């Protein structure tokens, strides 16, 4: 990456803005991993009765006739990620879901993971918060910047109104989620607006890297859809 950036700078100086833009795009594409852009679920593992690929989308679906008794996940198994910018589109109808990152598998048979989660829900109460699945729970609510000290104590600063931020999220329609994980600094954005932020200084619990996964939550019937999932490594 350093070599690519050096060449890019040299091209900018010699050949001008057009070459600069071309070289920058090349450097960025070299660090971008497409997790899902349509097609089958190659590279992902989860319950075949709950997850499918439909119309260029990853679809997770539960029914009232066959409810699930615990949260389960579709796991991207090709690679783990540390510092990155993740972008994805999602649509949810009923229930609760989320995008796991820097997570780990704790039950291979039931596809259960633990770790940071960019939360999504149809009721629009938790969408955008930072939740830690099977661990410390809610780390930052919508509209909060939270610093977690080495001892686990939280210092909270409110940067936005949770309800107003929620008005920019649209259950039942497509939304853009962006997650930025840079060192111990974690940020969530939905439809361009930052919804939560955490500086995690609790080194014995803060994950530095891990898997990406998508959640289906136990409870009432629900359908969640994802498409255009990409990661740009930082």
- Statement: 35-233 belongs to CATH 3.20.20.70: no
Tens digit of each residue's pLDDT (9 = 90 or more) over 131-156: 999 999 999 999 999 999 999 999 99
Of 201, 164, 165, 168, which Cα lies nearest the Cα of 184?
201
Q: What is the mean pLDDT of the chain?
A: 91
Tens digit of each residue's pLDDT (9 = 90 or more) over 110-135: 999 999 999 999 999 999 999 999 99
pLDDT at 30: 72
pLDDT at 17: 52
Residue 227: is its pLDDT beyond 70? Answer: yes
Residue 158: is its pLDDT beyond 70? Answer: yes
Q: Give me the percent of the chain exceeding a pLDDT of 70.
A: 88
DSSP 149: P
Phi and psi of 173, rounded to 5°?
A: -125, 170
The encoded tokens of residue 28 equal 């960025």
Tens digit of each residue's pLDDT (9 = 90 or more) over 2-51: 443 444 444 454 555 554 555 444 445 679 999 999 999 999 999 999 99
pTM higher than the cut 0.85: yes
52/20: higher pLDDT:
52
Q: Are 173 and 179 in contact (CB under 8 A)?
A: no
Q: Give me the percent of the chain exceeding a pLDDT of 90.
A: 87
Q: Distance between the two ends of the chain, CA-based, in angstroms?
A: 10
195/2: higher pLDDT:
195
Q: Where are the domains of the chain?
A: 1-30, 35-233
């Amino acid at each position: 990456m350093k070599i690519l950036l050096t060449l890019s700078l040299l091209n900018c100086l010699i050949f001008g803005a057009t070459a600069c833009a071309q070289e920058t795009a090349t450097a960025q594409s070299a660090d971008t991993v497409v997790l899902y852009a349509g097609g089958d679920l190659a590279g992902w593992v989860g319950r075949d009765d709950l997850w499918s690929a439909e119309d260029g989308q990853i679809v997770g679906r539960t029914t009232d006739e066959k409810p699930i008794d615990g949260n389960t996940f579709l796991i991207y198994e090709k690679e783990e990620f540390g510092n990155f910018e993740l972008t994805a589109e999602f649509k949810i109808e009923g229930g609760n879901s989320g995008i796991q990152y820097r997570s780990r598998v704790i039950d291979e048979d039931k596809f259960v993971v633990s770790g940071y989660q960019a939360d999504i829900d149809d009721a629009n109460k938790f969408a955008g918060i930072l939740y830690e699945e099977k661990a410390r729970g809610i780390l930052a609510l919508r509209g909060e910047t939270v610093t977690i000290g080495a001892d686990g104590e939280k210092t909270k600063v409110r940067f936005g109104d949770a309800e107003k931020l929620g008005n920019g999220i649209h259950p039942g329609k497509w939304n853009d989620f962006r997650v930025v994980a840079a060192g111990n600094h974690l940020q969530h954005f939905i439809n361009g607006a930052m919804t939560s932020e955490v500086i995690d200084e609790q080194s014995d619990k803060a994950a530095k890297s891990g898997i990406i996964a998508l959640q289906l939550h136990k409870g009432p019937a629900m359908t969640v859809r994802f498409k255009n999932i990409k990661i740009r490594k930082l």
